[in-house]
Amino acid sequence: MTSLANHQSKEFTKLLLMGDSKSGKTGALASLVPDYNLGILDYDNGLDALAIIIGRDNPKLLDKVHFRTLRDRYMMTAAGPVISGTATAFIEGSRMIDHWKHGDEDLGAPGTWGKDWIFVLDSLTFMADAAFNFREPLVPRSRDGKYDVRAVYKDAQDATESVLAYVTSESFRTNVIVISHVRYVDNPDGTKKGYPTAVGSALSPSIPRYFNSVALTLTGAGGKRQIQTAATAMIDLANPASFKMLPTLPIESGLATFFKTLRS
């Protein structure tokens, strides 16, 4: 019989961090680097702020952050931009999640990194787009080349959801942060809710159920950026230690405080 005292939540945090564009989501990771190593799958190509912040505060800590930037290549045509060659960003990211190996760097399986590491997916939004790019050429087409785009969306959503199911599972024994932009959806009852942005709209409301911790970056009074941990009228947030977690945290130290509060 397994005792609740040995539950994996005592060792690992799996966090969904949402926020509007340029609200400080990636830069907020800097406060974690003194205590954790980070492995970042960078689909946004947006690590500039993180590198600058860590370099300003303690350049030696830059070696604790490992990343791989993944973007499909585009080329311009008369009909607009199209994928150049084969879309590989999604499948390459999947390989990295299975075994982090690129060039001369081999960090093994992220799912075995342990409690001193954080696997970061930045961002879910662009990874889902990469899943769409990967699945589109694989969908059956008619003789005239036409296809049902709904099938592409369904395949991309299933692929994206499978990644989330894996990295948040008990077998993935590493801390996880999945970063996402926010999609605001008009519900049938007339209310508007914010959900993580993923390809299409069907998957978005289901994403938070994979995470026990959901937080939000936002701009508060006076233009000061914060991390919100308590639910708002439009976005449902959560954490297992709400009884001792402050409802808002400064973005400069917020994620470090969030992790320390849960780990204590």
User: Across the chain, which distance is largest between two alpha carbons, in Å?
Assistant: 65
Q: Spell out the residues 6+ positions from residue 173 whose beta carbon is closer than 8 angstroms to its own.
A: 8, 11, 12, 111, 112, 113, 114
Residues 86-99: pLDDT tens digits?
999 999 999 999 99
Bridge partners (DSSP) listed for residue 108: 100
What residues have CB less than 8 Å from 177, skipping those under 6 apart?
15, 17, 29, 118, 119, 120, 121, 255
> CA–CA separation, 74 vs 87, rounded Å?
9
Q: What is the identity of the amino acid at 261? A: T
Q: For 56-94, what is each residue's pLDDT tens digit? A: 999 999 999 999 999 999 899 888 888 888 999 999 999
Residue type at 67 in one-letter notation: F
pLDDT score of 263 more than 70: yes
Question: Rounded CA gap, 172 and 178, in Å?
Answer: 14
Please name the residue that has the structure tokens 């199209």.
82
pLDDT in tens, 189-234: 888 899 999 888 889 999 999 999 999 999 877 788 999 999 988 9
Helix (H) or strand (E) holding 128: helix 124-135
Reading the block at residue 81, the tokens are 């931009």
**87-134 pLDDT per residue, tens:** 999 999 999 999 999 999 999 999 999 999 999 999 999 999 999 999
Sign of the CA dihedral 165, 166, 171, 172? negative
Q: What are phi and psi of 42, to 5 degrees?
A: -100, 90
H/E run at residue 184: strand 182-186
